[in-house]
Amino acid sequence: MADVKIQPLKNGPYHIEGTVSLVDADGKAYQVEETIHLCRCGGSSNKPFCDGTHRREGFVAEETAP
């Protein structure tokens, strides 16, 4: 299995590097690249991918587990 790195960006999306499969709740597979950014703010109009909405909305996220 190839290495996959998942990193929450400060007040932004999840940055994912590596070969991954991304499937929605209905089992539909998304076409993905080696690097993707998944929305964490919930405001993206291109869910599950980030479209930069977090910047306009002033999204603030926890970066580490409590």
**What is the rounded (10 degree) CA torsion for 8, 34, 58, 61?**
-10
Mean pLDDT, to the nearest integer, of 35-60? 96
pLDDT tens profile 5-24: 999 999 999 999 999 999 99
Quick check: bond before 48 cis, omega within 30?
Answer: yes
What are residue 55's phi and psi, to 5 degrees?
-65, -45
Can you give the pTM of this predicted structure?
0.86
* pLDDT at residue 62 in the model: 77
CA distance 18 to 41: 22
